[in-house]
Structure formats: structure tokens, C-alpha cells
Amino acid sequence: MIMQKDVKTKLKILFIIRVCLWITAFVSTIRWMSYSIQLNKQEIFDPYEFALRFRPVFYPCFVIAAAAIGLSFALYAYGKRISRKEEDE
């Protein structure tokens, strides 16, 4: 009985962490999209100038979003492994 409560608690914690990671990915994506819109509102349409200003924001935001999503999937797989292990016992 105690083991089952432990597993459920771990799975809830993993779920909360995964939700936070997805929120992080969402916020990061919104940040680079809003920055792109901001550059367009400033009428920066030259591809060279746009790229120079956009890259320092886009690449870190993209890496943060990709890492958060990847980690979320890894935690999901870990949670599945924990629940399967509990079912086997």
C-alpha cells in the first residue's frame, strides 16, 4: 500500500514538472514570435538586418523550447516505466 502511494506521488510530481516544461516551451516560442513581430513593426524588412537582430533571440529560445519538450518526453517515458514496474509487483 505504501509503495502504491509513493508511485502515485512520483507520477504526480513528474506530471507537474512536465506541465512546467511545456509552459516554458510555450513562453519561449511566444517570445521569439513576438520579437519577430516587433521587428516587422519597426519596418525592418531587409533580410540581412532582420537576421542580425533576430538570431540572438531566436536560437536561444528555440534551444530552450526544444530542450524543454525533449525533457518532457523523457520524463513521460520515465513515468511510464515507473507505473509499469508498479503493476508488475
- Position 82 in a domain: yes
Q: What is the predicted pLDDT for the residue at 1?
A: 46
- pTM, two decimal places: 0.84
- Position 70 in a domain: yes
- Position 57 in a domain: yes
- Position 66 in a domain: yes
Report the domain count for the chain.
1
- Position 13 in a domain: no
User: Per-residue pLDDT for 83 more than 70?
Assistant: yes
Residues 67 and 19: beta-carbon distance below 8 Å: no
pLDDT tens digits, 1-48: 446 788 889 999 999 999 999 999 999 999 999 999 999 999 988 999
- Position 31 in a domain: yes
Domain, as residue range, for 84:
18-88
pLDDT tens digits, 49-70: 999 999 999 999 999 999 999 9
- Position 79 in a domain: yes
